[in-house]
Amino acid sequence: MSRSRILRLVAIFVAVAVALAAGLFDIAVLDRDEWLERSLRNRWAFRDVPTRRGAIVDAGGVPLAWDVPGFDLELRYATFREEHPLAICVHGANLAHAARDGHERYDLLAPERAREALRDLLAIPLAWLRDPAAWPLALRLEPPVEDLRRELRFHVGGAVAALAGVSRWRLAAALHAEVFGEGEGDVTAALARIARRGDVAGFTVVAPSDAEARHELVERCLAALDQRIVELRALDARLQRALADGSTFELFAFLDERRLASREARRLASLPEAESSALADAGFWAWLAESSVPWHEWPDWRGWLSLPQDRRAELVRAFATERARRIAERAEDWFDAGSARPALFAPLPPDRKVPRFEDERRPRRVLARLPHELAMWLALIAERQPGFLLRASVLRERGRVPGQVDLGSLASVVGSVGSYAPEGRTPELDAARVLADEADFARRADEAAAGLELAESVTDALRSRAESALRAHYGRLGRIGRSGVEAAYDEILAGRPGLRFVERDKRARELRMFENLDVAPGADVQLTVDLRLQVLAERALGELSPEREKALVVLDAQSGDVLAIVAQVWRKDDPQPQWSTGAWAPAFNPYVGSVAKPLVALEFLAALRADPALGAPAAFPDCGGKPAPYDRRRRLRCGEVHGAGARDTVHAIAESCNVYFFRVADELGAERIRAGFARFGWASPGAAAGGVDGSPPAIDGLPSRQWQAPRLRPAGFVLPMQAIGYGVEVWPLFVARAYAGIATGRLPELRIVRSAAAGQGAALPFDATDFAPVRAGLAACVETGTARAIATSARRLALATGLRLFGKTGTAEVTADGTLNNAWFAGFVGEGHDARLAFAAVEYRTDDHGGTSAAPIVARFLDAMLDDPELSARWLGGRPAPRDGARHR
């Protein structure tokens, strides 16, 4: 024995040690960053905390949209099926049955049948868990047979462990030893032996004999399963009771739906090679050769593949049926053979591991908005219902009074929120929000990483995880304003979700917190709209001819605050009118007609003052009420005979004399008329006369695309017709604004959100001498003119508040035959510094006129206001007025 041999052994050991050291160097030093990142992935987690979105309230502080924190119940089906004994039994038994005869036997719709499933599992021969050859239909199994035995052991051990309350891994290990220790009998016998020996702590039986131990074991498992089913039924009952809105929810149907989805998720596409291999392994070709099937249909394997899928499936079914029959003949005393109905052939690629229920890892919402009591109960029983998750959430409530979810006509103003979606309707908005938030989270992650002196690659990974956490948060709870104030004020309302950057252990227990990004709740947004005025406006609109499309807008004449904004649309196939955006967005041709006349008159009076050369009204012709030729093609006329009234501005406005304004148009010309409209925001000052777009919307805080700008479309209308409002497309909101300007001498900026900075508006270039006749005409219009139908209301208003009512009717023909009109009434309450409200009402496409259809809307609204002392005092500054009857007395 030479020493050199020992030296060689020494050399071998030294070489191995050096190789190991080099290998460890590669892992621990050269690749350290990667492993450190994986270590961080194990233990670092970002936990999101939902934020509360700010409320939207009306001018009086009444909430219209607000967040309610609550709890959702979610189900992670993979956990349910891996840990809940009911699911384990059903899936396990189905797996065994499918392997045996090609079809599944149990579902979750009738949980009591899980008793049979458990009996089936306990009756599986140990040999089946040991020997792949024992499996009858192994060729079409999902997963493949080498995984199948492990799956079945997993199910058997898991079910019994869950029912006995012992460690599933210890029981599985003991069962594994029985299976591969050449244990005899079935699973029950093996478990009885394990229990009698006490191999697994807590898993014992008291029965003295094997037979009695088997019986005791089975009975205990069945009793425990019954108890778990009872508990699940109790959960179902509690959920049913929680559905306060009368809807129903089928918990077991939901579970079974997920069961099917889980099963389907595991069904991978078969590959021809795998099919070939599996068929060959199963003896398919040999069977085919011996059978009567005319296999000359295909000369080789390629020919087989070229057969139609149906034909291939038919042959395989025939083979599987025959095989199942033969197996059933020699089957052990296991399940009732039943009808062997082979399923479709769907082998898996043999070299692939089957992902276990991969698609069902994501939790799915079972029920939202659980009552607090139910949520707490669920938290207490969570351990008994694995797979069910109680998640904190927030829900957006909407309504005008508690319990009423309908926002009515305010719905389109308040708008809506939607879930976060990168491909959503407002991608640019989403992207901006998400990027801002991600940047914030990433900064936090960087800060934490910097404190721990991590490599850049690791901090990059950390940032990526923070971003993933954020995306997951938005995917689950994210809400973003989609329309209305919710969208326009999203930045203010949304707030910012919280984020805890924690270190956790294997059991997901948080052990250390690096960073806590506090939740920043969203701020509230207060509308200028007074809900009570809004309701009055709705009623005023609804009480009169509900089958029409109409709108009413009421503004604070001084500030431009929108106090009420209502529009309704009516469709022939819908008996009920629906609230719409017709007060500010186009439904159709919205020509304003004669409500444009005061604006033209003001422009004319101002022009006349500056340029005496213009023809004064005193020189205008009388109004004869007859058509007069205007050019070679057209004849223009006034509908009434106003006589000398056509030479008086006050009378012309009060009686809406077209002849007066035809003459004014001739005197002013197209450019100055357009300029007059532009001063009131009805046209862009710099736009060309040929196709004048409206000025940009000026409603503070609201997205421009939701608010249609006024516009001039004079094409098709001769100049005099433009002066009486044809070709002028303006929506009630902007009509009311213009009349607020006439009332105060200053065109206010529109505002619908109180928190927005209030603008001063723009002073109009008219002096008192210009305004006086126009306002006088508007007052006369209400008292004696075309709007005299509401003179009573005007008088009541004056009595109650000392304020005069000013208004102008308009009736714009919108069809060629003149049968349908846009009937308008616009005006204001009080003038100058006393001006309180400005309003515009319209009834679209009506056969009526402004004075008889739109003006009564305003009258009803004002009457209702005067009936309410508080509203009257708040907005009109007066005392409650006596009813008509009392006044007459």
Partner 1 sequence: MNRADLLPRRIDWWIVLLAATIALVGVAFVHSATTGTDDEGLARRQLVFLAASVVGAAVAVVVPYARFHRGAASLYVLALLALVAVLFVGAVINGARRWIRIPGAGFLLQPSEFGKLAVVLALASWLRFRDRASGFDGVVVPALITAVPAALVFVEPDLGSSLVYWPILFAICYAAGAPVRALSWLFLAGVLVIAVGWFTVFHEYQRSRAEVWASHFGWDRTTIDTDPAVRQVLLDDGYQPWQSLIAIGSGGLTGFGYAQGPQNRFDFLPYRAGDYVFAVVAEEFGWLGAVGLLAAYLALVLALFLLAMRTRERFGRLLVVGVATWLGTQAFLHVAICAWFLPAKGLPLPLVSQGGSVTLAAALGIGLCLNVGARREPVLAADGFR
List contacts with partner 1 (CB under 8 A): 1-3, 5-10, 13-14, 16-17, 20-21, 23-25, 27-29, 31-32, 34-36, 38-39, 42-43, 146, 149-150, 170, 172-174, 176-177, 180-181, 197, 199, 352-356, 358, 503-507, 511
Name the residue nearer to partner 1 (CB basis): 34 or 622.
34
CA distance linking residue 162 with residue 171, whole number of Å? 10
Is-contact 179 129, C-beta < 8 A?
Answer: yes
Give me the least distance between CB of 38 and partner 1, in Å please.
5
Give me the least distance between CB of 292 and partner 1, in Å please.
36
CA distance linking residue 137 with residue 186, whole number of Å? 20
Give me the least distance between CB of 97 and partner 1, in Å please.
22
Q: What is the three-class DSSP state of 496?
A: strand
Which uninterrupted H or E stretch holds 284? helix 284-290
Structure tokens at 87: 């699911």
CA distance linking residue 158 with residue 83, whole number of Å? 7
Structure tokens at 874: 């708040």
Is-contact 739 682, C-beta < 8 A?
Answer: no
Give me the least distance between CB of 684 and partner 1, in Å please.
55
Is-contact 876 796, C-beta < 8 A?
Answer: no
How many Cβ atoms sit within 10 Å of the Cβ of residue 446?
Answer: 17
Give me the least distance between CB of 147 and partner 1, in Å please.
9
Question: Cα separations (Å) of 709 from 591, 699, 728?
Answer: 13, 10, 11
Name the residue nearer to partner 1 (CB basis): 335 or 357.
357
Name the residue nearer to partner 1 (CB basis): 502 or 862.
502
Give me the least distance between CB of 438 and partner 1, in Å please.
20
Name the residue nearer to partner 1 (CB basis): 34 or 257.
34
Name the residue nearer to partner 1 (CB basis): 231 or 503.
503
Give me the least distance between CB of 692 and partner 1, in Å please.
58
3-state secondary structure 685-745: CCCCCCCCCCCCCCEECCCHHHCCCCEECCCCCCHHHHHCCCCEECCHHHHHHHHHHHHHC
Give me the least distance between CB of 354 and partner 1, in Å please.
8
How many Cβ atoms sit within 10 Å of the Cβ of residue 332?
Answer: 12
Name the residue nearer to partner 1 (CB basis): 184 or 358.
358
Name the residue nearer to partner 1 (CB basis): 27 or 376.
27
Give me the least distance between CB of 507 and partner 1, in Å please.
7
Nearest to 836, CA basis, from 870, 806, 792? 806
Give me the least distance between CB of 122 and partner 1, in Å please.
20
Give me the least distance between CB of 420 and partner 1, in Å please.
23
Name the residue nearer to partner 1 (CB basis): 466 or 797.
466
CA distance linking residue 417 with residue 474, whole number of Å? 13
To the nearest 10°, the Cα dihedral for 288, 292, 296, 301?
-10
Q: What is the three-class DSSP state of 480?
A: strand
Is-contact 830 803, C-beta < 8 A?
Answer: yes
Give me the least distance between CB of 157 and partner 1, in Å please.
10
What is the chain's alpha carbon radius of gyration, rounded to the nearest angstrom? 41
Q: φ and ψ at 499, to 5 degrees?
A: -150, 125
Name the residue nearer to partner 1 (CB basis): 361 or 887.
361
Name the residue nearer to partner 1 (CB basis): 23 or 621.
23
Give me the least distance between CB of 132 and partner 1, in Å please.
9
Question: Cα separations (Å) of 75 from 258, 361, 366, 379, 503?
Answer: 9, 9, 6, 14, 25
Instruction: Please list, in sequence order, all residues whose beta carbon lies within 8 angstroms of the beta carbon of residue 767, skipping any fewer than 6 positions away.
Output: 606, 609
Give me the least distance between CB of 202 and partner 1, in Å please.
15
Give me the least distance between CB of 5 and partner 1, in Å please.
5
Name the residue nearer to partner 1 (CB basis): 1 or 206.
1
Residue type, position 181, single letter:
G
Name the residue nearer to partner 1 (CB basis): 26 or 314.
26
Name the residue nearer to partner 1 (CB basis): 46 or 284.
46
CA distance linking residue 697 with residue 707, whole number of Å? 7
Name the residue nearer to partner 1 (CB basis): 352 or 883.
352
Name the residue nearer to partner 1 (CB basis): 141 or 553.
141
3-state secondary structure 305-373: HHCCHHHHHHHHHHHHHHHHHHHHHCCCCCCCCCCCCCCCCCCCCCCCCCCCCHHHCCCEEEEEEECHH
CA distance linking residue 134 with residue 418, whole number of Å? 55
Give me the least distance between CB of 177 and partner 1, in Å please.
5
Instruction: Please list, in sequence order, all residues whose beta carbon lies within 8 angstroms of the beta carbon of residue 625, skipping any fewer than 6 positions away.
Output: 637, 638, 639, 640, 641, 642
CA distance linking residue 590 with residue 572, whole number of Å? 20
HSE-up (13 A, CA, CB side) for residue 505: 3
Give me the least distance between CB of 54 and partner 1, in Å please.
38
Name the residue nearer to partner 1 (CB basis): 150 or 325.
150
Is-contact 823 715, C-beta < 8 A?
Answer: no
The side-by-side arrangement of strands in the sheet containing 498-504 is 44-49, 498-504, 510-517
Name the residue nearer to partner 1 (CB basis): 511 or 886.
511
Is-contact 491 22, C-beta < 8 A?
Answer: no
In sign, the C-alpha dihedral spanning 412, 413, 414, 417 is positive
Name the residue nearer to partner 1 (CB basis): 176 or 713.
176
Instruction: Please list, in sequence order, all residues whose beta carbon lies within 8 angstroms of the beta carbon of residue 771, skipping any fewer than 6 positions away.
Output: 602, 742, 745, 831
CA distance linking residue 844 with residue 550, whole number of Å? 6
Give me the least distance between CB of 581 and partner 1, in Å please.
47
